[in-house]
Amino acid sequence: MVSIELARKLREAGLKWEPQPGDRFVIPDRGMDDDVFVVSQMVVDVHDFPEGRVLGFNGTVEWALDSLEKDSALWLPSETQLRDRLGGSFVSLTSADDGYHVTLDIAGRRQDVVDDDPAEAYGKALLYLASGE
């Protein structure tokens, strides 16, 4: 999952999101930047009891925020989703002393993008494809 800063840049560069179960997102700039939400078709809570942990199938959770326009949410794509978006330009992900290298092939020219986190490296590579940044 990418950082909020990189997710913003990707959205500004034109990355489109069609929410699917399992997608993670934040609701930025409303005091909830640290709360990561997950798109789900069913709510399951973990309850801690003296006998151990139990998965509770609770149905609908009531919350003051009943709905939210998609554009108000900021998608935090996963490594897999980012790699898929790189398409045929993606060559490899390798680990080195200086971080994770995503290698792209852009019209026969190789381009390396590096970051300490593999998801960030994928995201930065996608940003490079979208905007040259």
Predicted confidence band of residue 69 (pLDDT cuts 50, 70, 90): confident
Q: What is the pTM of this model?
A: 0.83
Number of domains within the chain: 1
Q: Average pLDDT, stretch 20-42?
A: 88
Of 3-17, 34-48, 61-75, 109-123, least confident by mean pLDDT is 61-75
Dist. CA 30–CA 38, nearest whole Å = 17
Q: For residue 1, which of 106, 111, 78 has the smallest C-alpha distance?
A: 78
- pLDDT tens digits for range 34-66: 889 888 877 777 889 999 998 887 665 555 556
**Which range of residues forms the domain containing residue 78?**
4-131
Give the model's pLDDT for residue 60.
58
Order of strands, edge to edge, in the sheet holding 24-27? 32-38, 24-27, 74-75
